[in-house]
Chains A and B, each alone.
Chain A
Amino acid sequence: MNDRYRLPPLREGIKGEINWFGWMLTVNFPDMSGQFEEKQRSHLESQVPRDYLDFSTTITHEGIHFIQALTASYIYRSACRLWHGVQEVIQKVRLFPSDAVITLPLQIESSIGSMLNQMRTKSRNLSTPDVPGVSPLDVIEGATVFITHRMHLENMNNLGYLQRIKEQYSVGNLRTYSDAYRLAEWYLGDDIFDIFSVICFLALCSQEPGQMFCRYVRAIGRSGILHDHKRLTVQEIIDSGIAFGVTELRTTVQEIDTSGLWHPILFPYVKKVVENLPDRFNFVEFAARPYECDDVKIFRLIRPPLLRFEGKVGNIAPDLPDFFSDGPASSQKTTDKDNANLIVTLMAICGAVLAMLWPDEYYMQCPHTNCPYYGLRLCYAYAPVPPSYQECGFIERFESVFERSLSTVQLRKEE
């Protein structure tokens, strides 16, 4: 990215985000990237300031989501479906006459909303007085918070973890980070500590992670297997599930082999990772318990494509896969700049589609309030903030993809 373009902060209240479309990771802290490389996996808590601990664990948290996408079929499949949903909307918009005015919100059918809602819908297969059920998002976030804690606080036990999630994640939207663990702990007690991330991973290899998570908790509880053996392998847990009728699990690789689902960012990554894993490396065991892996090369291989920080620093992973080689529009020569540009464009356009379907107060990182299109907020997901709105790359990208002038888009006036 051009040096003149600054990297903006996220909105307040969010420590970090990873985008479902471009898989770019954003962290809302001052730039501490240099320190991060050196201290990534050290025992941090008592040695470093709280901000640094937060920064480091936030990067780990979002990085774990990327590992999940490359290993567990539910996340890969959801990303592909969201991508296809976006493409459908683009195709429908292109069918409007190019000079017709489009009024937002778009009045067209889209599968995106129901997919995003489905991720938040709790399966009530199991519940406790405090936890009404578990959604796919609860499984995704519950596993990620758990794995992050285990990576950074190696001496933590079940009670310590319960205390932490009670203090930090027990109210409102924050419960999504702790509901799955609290539910499983209610049924399985201390024993959950050594198998929680495995159950989450297996649930995320299914079609319905919320429901599958509950089925595994039930199956393991009924089997009594934890009486004799606390640290079960992934295969032992799969076998426990099979005994209770739990089948049809797929890793991301199996999903690609079976369904052929293609994602412009994730597919090349999966291919690259699989080709470069060491011989006899147990990828499934790694995906289920990443905190037990101390091979930095593996984490380097699976890090997200782009990082940006509030401290005006952006890093492109030096070993991006060629996003164009397997795609519909393959090219002979692809540079890192082309690859990074694809991620930025993809995020911007997918963000614009969401904002066209559901206009809202999306957080605008851009300070150029005098831009004629500022009020539309369609560009909220466009990463580089230009020196002036006249130099912004969003408009060109929008018009190229939607085949219409941005000036033909307007918000419905409030009555």
Chain B
Amino acid sequence: MRYTFSIVIDEPAYVEDLHNSLESWIASEASDMINDPAISYEIKEPAPTPGSLALLDAGTIQLVLGILSGSGALTLTLRSLFRVLEKYIDAHKVVIKVKFGENMVEVSGKLSEQERSKYMEEFIQHSVEVDKK
């Protein structure tokens, strides 16, 4: 199953830096999970729909994670992703929004374990709902 996250940062100048941080996260902290054959990933730039002129959102990075259902890796990956974003926010004093489907989580500081669990639960529940349709 493919999960698409849109990670929106309120300071567009940090996009490239955040992009690099996500790459580093995938190469280091998340490497065990990403290297698992159950998971693939792709960091995409927004692009216009063919046949249209678009104004792209300067602060958006799309992270697409392909994770096999039931592998148990989703929870670990999400928890790790939220942690890396929290660290980034702490270091750079920016606000990051993580959007998935019609849901959105705004991360503006360190999340409590309770908040992190709540967001993950919402995300997983939403993903399962989409999957069932």
Q: Is A13 within 8 A of B60, CB to CB?
A: yes
The residue on B at minimum CB distance from A145 is B55
Q: Is A173 within 8 A of B45, CB to CB?
A: yes
Q: Is A62 within 8 A of B45, CB to CB?
A: no
Segment with Cβ contacts to A, from B10-18, B25-33, B73-81: B10-18
The residue on A at minimum CB distance from B10 is A50
**Which of A11, A21, A140, A369 is in CB contact (< 8 Å) with B133?**
A369
Segment with Cβ contacts to B, from A164-172, A243-251, A314-322: A164-172
Main secondary structure of the interface of A (DSSP, over half): mixed
Chain B residues with Cβ below 8 Å from A166 are: 13
Given contacts A171-B15, A173-B56, A369-B133, contact A17 B49 (CB under 8 A): yes
Q: How many inter-chain contacts with C-beta < 8 Å in the A-B complex?
A: 93
- Measured between alpha carbons, how far is A28 from B49 in the docked complex, in Å? 13
Given contacts A12-B46, A173-B45, contact A20 B52 (CB under 8 A): yes
- Measured between alpha carbons, how far is A291 from B133 in the docked complex, in Å? 48
Cβ distance A265 to chain B, nearest Cβ, rounded Å? 13
Complex A-B: 24 CB contacts under 8 Å: A9-B102, A12-B6, A12-B8, A13-B45, A13-B56, A14-B46, A14-B55, A14-B57, A20-B51, A20-B52, A58-B55, A62-B53, A62-B55, A116-B51, A167-B12, A168-B58, A171-B15, A171-B16, A173-B46, A350-B51, A354-B50, A367-B133, A368-B133, A369-B130
**Which of A11, A65, A350 is in CB contact (< 8 Å) with B53?**
A65
A40 close to B (CB within 8 Å)? no
Q: Is A18 within 8 A of B46, CB to CB?
A: no
Chain B residues with Cβ below 8 Å from A11 are: 46, 49
Given contacts A58-B55, A61-B55, A168-B12, contact A17 B48 (CB under 8 A): yes
- Measured between alpha carbons, how far is A14 from B11 in the docked complex, in Å? 16
With a 10 A CB-CB cut-off, give which of B10, B47, B55, B57 has the most chain A CB atoms. Answer: B55
- Measured between alpha carbons, how far is A134 from B67 in the docked complex, in Å? 40
Q: Is A19 within 8 A of B58, CB to CB?
A: no
Chain B residues with Cβ below 8 Å from A368 are: 133
Chain A residues with Cβ below 8 Å from B110 are: none
B91 close to A (CB within 8 Å)? no
Residues facing A in B41-89 (CB within 8 A) are: 45-58, 60, 62
Chain B residues with Cβ below 8 Å from A13 are: 6, 45-46, 56-57, 60, 62
Chain A residues with Cβ below 8 Å from B62 are: 12-13
Q: Is A172 within 8 A of B57, CB to CB?
A: no
A340 close to B (CB within 8 Å)? no
Q: Is A141 within 8 A of B58, CB to CB?
A: no
Given contacts A12-B99, A173-B46, contact A354 B51 (CB under 8 A): yes
Using CB atoms and an 8 Å cutoff, list the residues of chain A in contact with chain B. 9, 11-21, 28, 50, 58, 61-62, 65, 82, 116, 140-141, 144, 166-169, 171-174, 350-351, 354, 358, 362-363, 367-370, 380-381
Q: Is B55 within 8 A of A12, CB to CB?
A: no
Q: Is A18 within 8 A of B52, CB to CB?
A: yes
- Measured between alpha carbons, how far is A19 from B99 in the docked complex, in Å? 25
The residue on B at minimum CB distance from A355 is B50
Chain B residues with Cβ below 8 Å from A61 are: 55
With a 10 A CB-CB cut-off, give which of A9, A12, A362 has the most chain B CB atoms. Answer: A12
The residue on B at minimum CB distance from A148 is B55
Chain A residues with Cβ below 8 Å from B57 are: 12-15, 28
- Measured between alpha carbons, how far is A129 from B13 in the docked complex, in Å? 20
- Measured between alpha carbons, how far is A15 from B53 in the docked complex, in Å? 11
Chain A residues with Cβ below 8 Å from B13 are: 166-168
Cβ distance A181 to chain B, nearest Cβ, rounded Å? 15
Q: Is A17 within 8 A of B54, CB to CB?
A: yes
**Which of A50, A65, A144, A169 is in CB contact (< 8 Å) with B58?**
A169
- Measured between alpha carbons, how far is A166 from B12 in the docked complex, in Å? 10
- Measured between alpha carbons, how far is A362 from B45 in the docked complex, in Å? 14
Chain B residues with Cβ below 8 Å from A367 are: 133
- Measured between alpha carbons, how far is A90 from B24 in the docked complex, in Å? 47
Cβ distance B105 to chain A, nearest Cβ, rounded Å? 13
- Measured between alpha carbons, how far is A140 from B54 in the docked complex, in Å? 11
Chain A residues with Cβ below 8 Å from B102 are: 9
- Measured between alpha carbons, how far is A381 from B50 in the docked complex, in Å? 10
- Measured between alpha carbons, how far is A58 from B55 in the docked complex, in Å? 7
